[in-house]
Amino acid sequence: MKKLTLFGLIVVLLCSCYNRSESRENILKIYNWADYIGDGVLEDFQAYYEEQTGTPIRIVYQTFDINEVMLTKIEKGHEDYDVVCPSEYIIERMLKKGLLQPIDTIFPNSPDYMNLVSPFIKEQINKLSQPGRPANEYVVCYMWGTAGLLYNTTFLDEGDVSSWGCLWDDQYAGKILMKDSYRDAYGTAILYANAKALADSSRTVESLMNDYSPEAMQMVETYLKALKPNVAGWEADFGKEMMTKNKAWINMTWSGDAMWAIEEAEEVGVELSYIVPDEGSNIWYDGWVIPIYARNPKAAAYFINFMCRPDIALRNMETCGYVSSIASPEILEEKIDSTLEYSSDLSYFFGPGAEDVQVNNIQYPDRNVVERCAMIRDFGDKTKDVLEIWSRIKGDNLSVGVLIVIFTVIPIMIIWLVYRKVRNYRRYKKSRRRYRRYKPRR
């Protein structure tokens, strides 16, 4: 992902330091993922809000990198964030626990840009609804994307990575990176383990990725343990850089990270590509919500609406590489690239007229890709069991290379250190003898 400019970072830091005696109606506290907003968008929102309401607004902008850390702060109520951006499974959990409040959609002097969210996205978000809490009243999707394989075309072609099975192929041992994400790892393993059932349509991607039966969890653990020897690293962010430097050939990653890596690699002469394997994959959604403890829900609603404005959505997409939920004609027109040698059916997202358009298929997957993908839901009371599996997988993650270091290199280093210590001691004793020999007598 592209980083914030120095100016933008300074603005964020300054905005984070506010006078606690200042009226809360003049403060908007935002909690978002890092590198997930366009340069200058916060400053532009401040001007927009004052223009719309006549009230100046100061922004306190903080970032997180783990959903569960964000959720813990919201649950405890120690932080009065006005708007946060969790992922779909955390949104579902927050709805279950009554941690969210509805988002106001009435803006006297502004259109309701939230209406521009794709019907496809609204349909998916609606699956998170809880009794008495329709999800689309509590969340507005911000960005979405797929999980797939980023690969180096110098060493592999599309056919080599058309199945998740390539991750279990010994010929790529030590050249594979996996996202350090227990949910994506779970989904990947269970889809590959049931590839035949998917092929004959006896199981669906959605039913498999959300199967937490004891049999399913045992299967996942078995497959992930078999995968471990091939994995060079479980990464949260360093995978993109390793791929651009030819240090890894395959990276199980997210589409936005793939976009960033492909662009960066091209600048240094490395050719990368991205694919969603034939078995299917996870489609994830991040959305804006207003926590129950928010103290400025009015400004939060205006902010969410502003983020849905097409020009702002495009700027945010440009920064992070992921796909906005907004399906306006302006965005489709901006994204059409006549130099592409392929076209995609994006009518599921943009509606009629988008059945055959030349748009980057990493950002906007073709209909046939979307139809073999699904959303991983909240694990619920099975979360603890899945985390225990993940702990066992990661706990003894010692590759052959690591074992060689432990049992070969380290003993050699110890012997060398002992040798140096003995040698230095002998030199010291020798120098002491010389000193006594030539020491002046009193």
Do residues 360 and 335 make contact, with C-beta atoms less than 8 angstroms apart?
Answer: yes
Q: In angstroms, rounded to a whole number, what is the distance separating the alpha carbons of residues 187 and 88?
A: 15
| pLDDT value at residue 128 | 98
Quote the pTM value.
0.83
Question: What fold, for 6-143+285-334?
Answer: D-Maltodextrin-Binding Protein; domain 2 (3.40.190)
> What are the tokens at 120?
């496809």
Percent of the chain with pLDDT over 90: 80
Q: In angstroms, rounded to a whole number, what is the distance separating the alpha carbons of residues 283 and 373?
A: 6
| pLDDT value at residue 414 | 57
Residue 2: is its pLDDT beyond 70? no
DSSP 49-102: HHHHHS---EEEEEEES-HHHHHHHHHHT----SEE--BHHHHHHHHHTT-EEP
Place of tokens 């919201």: 74
The secondary structure of residue 33, as a DSSP letter, is E
Residue 21: is its pLDDT beyond 70? no
Q: In angstroms, rounded to a whole number, what is the distance separating the alpha carbons of residues 432 and 442?
A: 18
Do residues 4 and 39 make contact, with C-beta atoms less than 8 angstroms apart?
Answer: yes
Residue 438: is its pLDDT beyond 50? no
Residue 442 — pLDDT band, cuts 50, 70, 90? very low
For helices 41-53 and 310-320, the axis angle rounded to 10 degrees is 160
pLDDT digits 0-9 by tens, 389-420: 999 998 854 444 443 443 444 455 556 555 56
CA distances in angstroms from 243 to 35, 248, 251, 357, 384, listed in the order given: 20, 5, 7, 29, 33
Q: In angstroms, rounded to a whole number, what is the distance separating the alpha carbons of residues 323 and 145?
A: 6
Residue 434: is its pLDDT beyond 50? no
Q: In angstroms, rounded to a whole number, what is the distance separating the alpha carbons of residues 84 and 31?
A: 5
Q: Select the more confidently predicted residue: 78 or 43.
A: 43
CA atoms within 13 A on the CB side of 176: 22
Residue 12 — pLDDT band, cuts 50, 70, 90? very low
Among the ranges given (18-27, 270-279, 355-364), the one the predictor scored with the smallest mean pLDDT: 18-27
Partners of 373 in the beta sheet?
281
Q: In angstroms, rounded to a whole number, what is the distance separating the alpha carbons of residues 60 and 289?
A: 16
Question: What fold, for 145-283+361-395?
Answer: D-Maltodextrin-Binding Protein; domain 2 (3.40.190)
Q: In angstroms, rounded to a whole number, what is the distance separating the alpha carbons of residues 299 and 341?
A: 44
CA 432 to mean position of chain CA atoms: 63
Do residues 63 and 12 make contact, with C-beta atoms less than 8 angstroms apart?
Answer: no
| pLDDT value at residue 425 | 52
pLDDT digits 0-9 by tens, 224-266: 999 999 999 999 888 888 999 999 999 999 999 999 999 999 9
Percent of the chain with pLDDT over 70: 85
- How far is it between the farthest Cα atoms of the chain? 106
User: Between vectors from CA 74 to CA 73 and to CA 80, what angle results, nearest 5°?
Assistant: 95
Q: In angstroms, rounded to a whole number, what is the distance separating the alpha carbons of residues 139 and 29?
A: 17
Place of tokens 């290199």: 409
**What is the helix (H) or strand (E) element at residue 273, kind and residue range?**
strand 272-275
Q: In angstroms, rounded to a whole number, what is the distance separating the alpha carbons of residues 164 and 192?
A: 6
Q: Select the more confidently predicted residue: 319 or 401.
A: 319
Q: Select the more confidently predicted residue: 9 or 175.
A: 175
Q: In angstroms, rounded to a whole number, what is the distance separating the alpha carbons of residues 318 and 93?
A: 30
Exposed / middle / buried, residue 153 (Cβ in 10 Å: 0-12, 13-18, 19+): middle
Residue 279: is its pLDDT beyond 70? yes
Q: In angstroms, rounded to a whole number, what is the distance separating the alpha carbons of residues 84 and 62?
A: 10
